[in-house]
Amino acid sequence: MSHKTEQREKSLSKNLTNSISFECQKTQKKAFSLLELLVVILILGILAAAVVPQVVGAGDKAKVDLTCVNMSTAGRTLDMFKLDNGVYPETEEGFDALMSNPDSDKYPNYSSNAYLKEYPKDAWRGKMIYIKKGNDFDIVSYGADRKEGGEDYSADLKLSGCKK
C-alpha cells in the first residue's frame, strides 16, 4: 500500500469516528433524567398546593356577589316603582307588581312599560323574595340550597346584608 492510500484510509477512519462520536453526542441529550422530572413534578405540586385552595372557594363567593348585585338592581327597580306610585308594592303583590299593574286604582301612575320583564333570580337560578317592611323593603335569596336557612354558601342572603 502506498503512503497516500494509508493517509486517505486514516483520514476516512478519523472522519468516520468523529462523525459517529458527534452523532452519539447529539442523540444522548434528547431525554430528561428521572431527577429532572421529579424536580418539575415537585415544583408543580407546590404550586398546586398554594393555588388550589384559593381558587376552589372563588366560584361560590362570585355567586354570592352576583346575587347581591342582582338584588341591588331589583331594589333600584322597586325605588323607581315607589317614585312613580308613592309606595312600594305590598309583600303579597311581590315582584309581580313590577311586571304588570296589580291595581290601576291603587297605582294610577304606574309606568306604561313594565318595571321588570322577568322575575329577578339569584345566581343559582332561584327566585328572589320581596318583603315590604313599612316604608322600606328587603329582598331575600335562599342561597345555593334554595331552602330557608342554611350555612355558608347555602345561607339565606338579604339585600340589607349585602349593603354592609
How distant is the alpha carbon of residue 104 from its chain centre? Answer: 43
Residue 128 lies in a domain: yes
Q: Quick one: how far is CA 138 from the chain centroid? A: 26
Which residues touch 33 (CB under 8 Å, ≥6 apart)? none
Would you place residue 164 in the very low, low, confident or very high pLDDT band (cuts 50, 70, 90)? Answer: low
Residue 7 belongs to a domain: no
Q: Is residue 26 classed exposed, middle or buried when 0-12, 13-18 and 19+ CB atoms within 10 A define those classes?
A: exposed
* % of the chain beyond a pLDDT of 70: 82
Tell me whether residue 139 is in a domain.
Answer: yes
Residue 85: the pLDDT is: 95
Rounded to whole angstroms, the Cα distance separating 157 from 34 reads: 52
Q: Quote the Cα angle for 68-153-124, to 5°.
A: 60
Q: Quick one: pLDDT at residue 1?
A: 56
Q: How many domains does the chain have?
A: 1
pLDDT of 8-17, one tens digit each? Answer: 776 766 666 6
- How distant, in Å, are the alpha carbons of 12, 34, 35 from that of 25? 20, 19, 20
Residue 134 lies in a domain: yes
Specify the pLDDT at position 28. Answer: 56
Q: Which band of pLDDT confidence, cut at 50, 70 and 90, is reported for residue 21?
A: low
85 vs 21, residue with greater confidence? 85
Tell whether 19 is covered by a domain.
no
Strands (E) in 3-160, as ranges, are: 129-133, 136-141, 157-158
Write down the pLDDT at residue 53. 74
pLDDT of 153: 77
Q: Indicate whether 4 belongs to any domain.
A: no
pLDDT tens digit string along 95-150? 999 999 999 999 999 999 999 999 999 999 999 999 999 999 999 999 888 888 88
CATH code of the domain covering residue 125: 3.30.700.10
Is 107 inside a domain boundary? yes
Has residue 31 been placed in a domain?
no
Q: Which domain holds residue 87?
A: 60-162
